[in-house]
Amino acid sequence: MQRATGSYSTQTRRELLKMLPLAGAALLFTERGRQAGVSLCDWVAATTFRRRHSATAFHDRDVTAFERFPLNSYLADDPEVDLDDWRLEVSGLVSRPGAYTLDSLRALPKVVQNTRHVCIEGWDVVGNFGGVPVAAFLDFVGAAKDARFLEVACADDYYESIDMASARHVQSLLCYEMYGAPLTRGHGAPLRLVLPTKLGYKQAKYIVGLKITNVLSSKIGYWEDRGYPWHGGL
């Protein structure tokens, strides 16, 4: 009986060893398939994106109560930004780089909109947002008209990048107000992105830097570098 068991164990091990290359190939195929799926998703989203097509705008009666708007941060709900000393560092392909105060953004024409925020985790809410259109700010700092990308740096070390067509979409905001009041720390004070045409992870909070560029850095986005689609379109 012992010899029979030993023979059976040896046979089993041999069969398992024979299967290892197939298992490895299956894993490799699965990862390649995942990457191909993400690339296809990005291609479709980029191809079908319409810069002049607006996301749904809602009536005030449809806006989710502020206390029911979830807080969702990748690290902490409050990275303790010094709001008095905060500056927005603008660099790259611009004629007027430099450090901009929140007052300089507030001096630009403000847009207020009720739009839906959709989280990849499965929830969505309609919020009230106020700020300066990204396109208006890019024009204000003299961003190159043929620039392709906008890279975003955040106080909590989050980072993001978006294509310029999405950045210049009419509803894309550098948001400094929610529900008629300055952004709270939990919602990204003093400045965040609001992109109604994108999923929530693209809408970076606690923004401290914008770089206008034609070549993306090796770090394209916090979640994108971990396998999420880059375009993130709805």
Max intra-chain CA distance, the chain:
88
What tokens does 14 get? 């041999």
Torsion angles phi and psi, residue 15, rounded to 5: -65, -40
What tokens does 63 get? 């806006």
Write down the residue that tokens 């007052």 correspond to.
103
In this predicted structure, what is the pLDDT of residue 73?
A: 78
- Three-state SS at 174: strand
In this predicted structure, what is the pLDDT of residue 11?
A: 54
Spatial separation of the C-alpha atoms in residues 37 and 39, rounded to whole Å: 5
In this predicted structure, what is the pLDDT of residue 36?
A: 61
- 10-residue block means of pLDDT along the chain (234 residues)? 44 52 53 58 61 89 97 80 96 98 98 97 96 98 98 96 96 98 96 97 97 97 95 88
Tens of pLDDT, residues 21-72: 555 545 455 656 556 655 655 665 566 656 668 999 999 999 999 999 999 8
Spatial separation of the C-alpha atoms in residues 71 and 157, rounded to whole Å: 17
